[in-house]
Chain A
């Protein structure tokens, strides 16, 4: 069922955790709330789950206003950060808990539990206690418990944080598959921008109690609406300068930069975003309209790519990310000065 949050404000004494949040999650969509700690994303989750009552605004599930409804009446499945499995109950009893609360007859309950455990590939683990399971298995139990009663909405509160990298990636894909298959409307909370980009239909970037931008992962990455989004999502070179009126801008340390379109009226302050992978290094830079020279001050090997920190004459530093193929050597070593260049189309005017 679709979720609509309108004008939600939540204050804790002098602190405003949510400063007017509007958000819509369409039926069957996975929307990620991405933000640093303290951005208000956890408070928003609690408001949606019913553990916090907002000072202003409304929360709707479908057409029903649930702003003041207690959690037990919301039919919302939630996977907690630490899973919150009942330690004294077996896997099957944990998963059966929401069905038991709904007074479902035992035969049907057992059938649904078996189904849910099969979905998360934990058939055969019914009689185990949570502490007898690995972190990944515990998370699957938590997931099974959250979906077994066909919730109207699924909430995921940073569920992958405690897992090691490999397991995290496979769990992410598994959750995504399951969510698509069951067409579950899902609100996912994370501070990990990579995770947000991989998993989401849409991403809402939160900062200081507000949503700064909502869009597809591609949108948010390539066309950030604010400086915060540009900085928080992915790696970035943020260039401060002034618009020249035509399709160009004046950036201290780089000079005049050609843009795909005007960045504002002549003299306006502007922030330009250049992703590290759009910055060319070496011979291929020569043919591009925007050129400079930089000395390589740091090289970081990342497996599939290499990251270079380059210092320009004026002291300005730029990051470049170059694909790495085993057959090709690095274009230059640390300490060398290399030509740089980038295309006008690869420069995004932030907020423009």
Chain B
């Protein structure tokens, strides 16, 4: 790669290289976005991170590592993210399979319902879930009216509520990568498998499923990482009984005004996210390569 680039770069001193010029133009087009990101995102992020070591020591990190509360919350957050990822995967895979072979109308309807949570504000969506899930909420009342339950099910202000709310928002992040991966599978491969004697379920297990794994990994990585930083949904639907790391960081800032410690926690979260992302990315990359 580099040797090719060098070979091309050598004569370009004498004459203009159209490839270079094109790259420069493209960079120019991306410049405004890069500028906005740099000023409004990267700079504040670096400021925040530097706050965690503002006193010149790693004391803030030591505090985070030694206090079992923070470790426990980080662990809980990962567990919740893992649950959300697993539930999303189980729900999203059949939906993606259906979307790939659905007709035009089915596809539009499916997309509409999938994207609906994106078009609703987080607060509205979350309060709507509270109306549905509460002790005397729509779901509990309906189940009682039908005589299916006697006492209301505890659906709100606990883990169940948090999971329902989070899965609802995050489902599309799982569906789209899987859908895209399924769409990329050459239909002739399924035909070939069928022609060679495979019944439908074996075509699925031996051909469709393995070839869709890159999409599955990508979806899991997305959902897991986004879950890890969730704040509003667990705060409202968890009713204070489910605490995720983002809520803890917010608490440090709002209640104790302990910016350095909040910065340290944020750094830990960011680092954990990056590590998981890199690991999954490596797995996904390998898979995508094998599937090509």
A residues at B contact (CB < 8 Å): 49-51, 70-72, 74-78, 80-82, 84, 86-88, 97-98, 101-102, 129, 131, 145, 149
State whether the Cβ of B94 lies closer than 8 Å to any Cβ in chain A: no
From A70, A76, A86, contact of B189 by CB (8 A): A86
Contact A101 B197 (CB under 8 A): yes
The B160-205 residues at the A interface (CB cut-off 8 A) are 186, 188-189, 191-199, 202
Contact A87 B191 (CB under 8 A): no
Complex formed: what's the CA distance from A78 to B195 in Å?
7
What residues of chain A lie closer than 8 Å to B116, measured between beta carbons?
Answer: none
From B194, B197, B199, B207, contact of A86 by CB (8 A): B207
- Known contacts A87-B211, A97-B196; decide if A82 and B186 are in contact (CB<8 Å): yes
What residues of chain B lie closer than 8 Å to A51, measured between beta carbons?
Answer: 191, 194-195
What residues of chain A lie closer than 8 Å to B195, measured between beta carbons?
Answer: 49-51, 71-72, 74, 76-78
**Chain A residue with the shortest CB-CB distance to B199:** A72
What residues of chain A lie closer than 8 Å to B188, measured between beta carbons?
Answer: 80-82, 84
What residues of chain B lie closer than 8 Å to A102, measured between beta carbons?
Answer: 197
What residues of chain B lie closer than 8 Å to A131, measured between beta carbons?
Answer: 292
Contact A101 B202 (CB under 8 A): yes
Contact B191 A145 (CB under 8 A): no
**Chain B residue with the shortest CB-CB distance to A145:** B196
Contact B196 A98 (CB under 8 A): yes
**Chain A residue with the shortest CB-CB distance to B211:** A88
State whether the Cβ of B291 lies closer than 8 Å to any Cβ in chain A: yes
State whether the Cβ of B154 lies closer than 8 Å to any Cβ in chain A: no
Contact B290 A98 (CB under 8 A): no
Contact A72 B211 (CB under 8 A): no
B interface: dominant SS: helix
**Chain A residue with the shortest CB-CB distance to B287:** A88
Return A186 CB to nearest CB of chain B, in Å. 15
Complex formed: what's the CA distance from A71 to B206 in Å?
17
What residues of chain B lie closer than 8 Å to A82, measured between beta carbons?
Answer: 186, 188
**Chain B residue with the shortest CB-CB distance to A78:** B195
Contact A80 B196 (CB under 8 A): no
From A49, A50, A81, A97, contact of B193 by CB (8 A): A97
B residues at A contact (CB < 8 Å): 186, 188-189, 191-199, 202, 206-207, 210-211, 290-292
Contact A149 B196 (CB under 8 A): yes
Between B188, B211, B290, B292, the greatest number of chain A beta carbons within 10 A of the residue's beta carbon is seen for B188
Return A84 CB to nearest CB of chain B, in Å. 4
From A49, A80, A88, A101, contact of B291 by CB (8 A): A88
Contact A72 B194 (CB under 8 A): yes
Contact A70 B194 (CB under 8 A): yes
Return B289 CB to nearest CB of chain A, in Å. 9
Q: Could you list 9 further interchain pairs (A-B, Cβ under 8 angstroms) beyond the known A88-B210, A88-B211, A97-B193? A: A51-B194, A72-B194, A74-B195, A75-B197, A80-B188, A86-B193, A87-B290, A101-B197, A101-B202
Interface pairs A-B: 5 shortest CB-CB? A101-B197, A84-B192, A98-B196, A84-B188, A71-B195
From B186, B196, B290, contact of A101 by CB (8 A): B196
What residues of chain B lie closer than 8 Å to A86, measured between beta carbons?
Answer: 189, 192-193, 206-207
What residues of chain A lie closer than 8 Å to B292, measured between beta carbons?
Answer: 87, 131
Complex formed: what's the CA distance from A145 to B186 in Å?
18
Return A312 CB to nearest CB of chain B, in Å. 50
From B194, B210, B291, contact of A71 by CB (8 A): B194
Contact B189 A72 (CB under 8 A): no
Q: List 21 A-B contacts (CB under 8 A).
A: A50-B194, A72-B194, A72-B196, A72-B197, A76-B195, A77-B196, A78-B192, A80-B192, A82-B188, A84-B188, A84-B191, A84-B192, A86-B189, A86-B192, A87-B290, A87-B292, A88-B211, A98-B196, A98-B197, A145-B196, A149-B197
What residues of chain B lie closer than 8 Å to A76, measured between beta carbons?
Answer: 195
Complex formed: what's the CA distance from A102 to B192 in Å?
15
Complex formed: what's the CA distance from A77 to B191 in Å?
12
Complex formed: what's the CA distance from A334 to B290 in Å?
58
Complex formed: what's the CA distance from A194 to B191 in Å?
29
What residues of chain B lie closer than 8 Å to A88, measured between beta carbons?
Answer: 210-211, 290-291
What residues of chain A lie closer than 8 Å to B191, measured between beta carbons?
Answer: 49, 51, 71, 80, 84
What residues of chain B lie closer than 8 Å to A149, measured between beta carbons?
Answer: 196-197
Complex formed: what's the CA distance from A184 to B1 in Å?
48
What residues of chain A lie closer than 8 Å to B210, measured between beta carbons?
Answer: 88
Complex formed: what's the CA distance from A87 to B197 in Å?
18
Complex formed: what's the CA distance from A87 to B292 in Å?
6
Contact A129 B290 (CB under 8 A): yes
Contact A97 B206 (CB under 8 A): yes
What residues of chain A lie closer than 8 Å to B206, measured between beta carbons?
Answer: 86, 97
What residues of chain B lie closer than 8 Å to A72, measured between beta carbons?
Answer: 194-199
Return B93 CB to nearest CB of chain A, in Å. 18
What residues of chain B lie closer than 8 Å to A71, measured between beta carbons?
Answer: 191, 194-195
Contact A87 B291 (CB under 8 A): yes
Complex formed: what's the CA distance from A129 to B292 in Å?
10
Complex formed: what's the CA distance from A84 to B189 in Å?
5
What residues of chain A lie closer than 8 Å to B290, measured between beta carbons?
Answer: 87-88, 129
Return B76 CB to nearest CB of chain A, in Å. 37
What residues of chain A lie closer than 8 Å to B198, measured between beta carbons?
Answer: 72, 97, 101
Return A147 CB to nearest CB of chain B, in Å. 11
What residues of chain A lie closer than 8 Å to B186, measured between beta carbons?
Answer: 82, 84
Return B166 CB to nearest CB of chain A, in Å. 32
**Chain A residue with the shortest CB-CB distance to B185:** A87
**Chain A residue with the shortest CB-CB distance to B187:** A84
**Chain B residue with the shortest CB-CB distance to A131:** B292
